[in-house]
Structure 1
Amino acid sequence: MRSRPIARRSFAALLLALSLAGCSGLRTESRVEEPPEPAQKRLPREEAKKPAKPGRKSEALPHSPVDDGALAPVFAPSIADAPRLTLDQQIRIRFHEKALSSGAPKSVPVLRALVVADPGLLRAAFTAMGMNVWAITWNGSRIEESRSPRLPAEVKAERFIRDFAFALWPVESVRRSIPQDMDLIVSERGDTEIRALIRNKAPILRAVITRTRNRSLITLANAPEGYTLDIEAAR
């Protein structure tokens, strides 16, 4: 079966569709852990996570293309490893050429996310074009959401948690949470840290994180789904 077009299955494209359509209030829903499902559809249970892999030396990051059918997996590090953070984020979305050719827009409104994390709890609230569109609370085993009624069901809190944690959780915690068939390569260049999730020598997720005293800039590229997030945050 052929996969859906990249623009439709991408987290960023769905948020954009919501922001352009407008919102008329939020509804609240709570979700508890479901029985086991395929890894790409749910957060893995913490007790099922694999042992830590030994550290690796910095390596050159590959640039070979990813097959269109290879979606970025959904995973999450342990909530107990969450850093203590309070962030006011401005998120800019850029679509790759293959996403543009599938119908993704060339320009996207800036999104704002207020995020608070500490060991045991992650909370995030999103606004777009001045409207509240989404709020998430995650304690490691349960996700609670307040969602606009116009927010498509395909927009998943698990994917936001994955992207956020991939860039900001401790490296070894991320390494323990990734699928068995993937590797995490980490390198540093001055004040910049680079994290790359690799499968079969091809990049799946790549985060470039630059931190200063009061601000951080994260560029997170999702190759299979065809988008890049530029996230500027004040601490």
Structure 2
Amino acid sequence: MRRRLLLVAALLGGCATVPPPSALPMLRLPPAALGSARFALSQRLTVTRLDQPDAAPQRVEVQLQLDASALLLAGFAFGQRVLLMQWDGKDLNVQRHPMLPAEVDTDRMLRDLCLTFWPAEAVRAALPEGWRWVVTATGQELQQGGQARLVVSRPGANIVEIVNPAEGYRLLIESQPQEGA
């Protein structure tokens, strides 16, 4: 079981063998910045390490609910919940499976969620000096010194791809609206 959960570590938090998370700014944008936007999604996350392009990608299922009051994310692997994350704009509460490795970094996950779902204006306002959030023809780029450090693209209606060379991963997010949402 521990071995299987180690595989999930790369999915939910990026790779542990890449530069430290401080390489990119951490964002904890308040859900209130979403305005009237609401999301209730079933997602399949597929992570590929950039330093091992021939390695098999890792996959995990996620349920995400997000609106102006809170973010709720539940991660599932091998038929059981391995992570529950709640963010209300003030407190990030996390429940982890006891065998889920410490490398699963919920701060990075929250940052990637903010870059994916929050309005560009809210992201720009939260970035430290020297960083820019630039809208491109295919998505957005987090830039430092004019260089793209993280790229978010939307190759399909329900697909988001995050390429993060700074932390060494490519994340493909395939989403489907939850029934009744």
TM-score norm. by structure 1 comes to 0.63
The answer to whether structure 1 residue 227 and structure 2 residue 169 are counterparts is: yes
- CA RMSD in angstroms comes to 2.3
Q: Which residue, 102, 106, 123 being the options, matches 2:72?
A: 123
How far apart are the structure 1 equivalents of 2:60 and 2:128? Answer: 30
Counterpart for residue 184 of structure 1: 133
How far apart are the structure 2 equivalents of 1:128 and 1:202? Answer: 35
- Equivalent residue of 1:151, what SS? coil
CA displacement at 1:116 relative to structure 2: 0.1
Contact 1:18 1:150 in 2 (8 A): no
Contact 1:167 1:209 in 2 (8 A): no
The answer to whether structure 1 residue 202 and structure 2 residue 154 are counterparts is: no
Q: Which letter maps to 1:208?
A: S
Deviations 1:5-50 (A, max 9, x none): xxxxxxxxxx962539xxxxxxxxxxxxxxxxxxxxxxxxxxxxxx
1:19–1:197 distance in 2 versus 1, CA, 3 Å: closer
CA displacement at 1:200 relative to structure 2: 1.6
Greater strand percent: which structure? 2
How far apart are the structure 1 equivalents of 2:41 and 2:69? Answer: 17
Any runs of at least 4 consecutive aligned residues in structure 1 with deviations exceeding 3 A, and if so which?
none
Contact 1:72 1:222 in 2 (8 A): no
Deviations 1:39-75 (A, max 9, x none): xxxxxxxxxxxxxxxxxxxxxxxxxxxxx67712211
TM-score norm. by structure 2 comes to 0.80
Contact 2:131 2:144 in 1 (8 A): yes
Q: Which residue, 77, 91, 95 being the options, matches 2:29?
A: 77
Whichever of the two has the greater Rg, that structure is: 1
Total equivalences in the alignment: 162
How far apart are the structure 2 equivalents of 1:79 and 1:207? Answer: 20
- Equivalent residue of 2:109, what SS? helix
Contact 2:65 2:72 in 1 (8 A): yes
Contact 1:109 1:128 in 2 (8 A): no
How far apart are the structure 1 equivalents of 2:140 and 2:160? Answer: 11
How far apart are the structure 2 equivalents of 1:223 and 1:114? Answer: 26
Identical residues among aligned pairs (%): 25
CA displacement at 1:76 relative to structure 2: 2.4
How far apart are the structure 2 equivalents of 1:205 and 1:139? Answer: 25
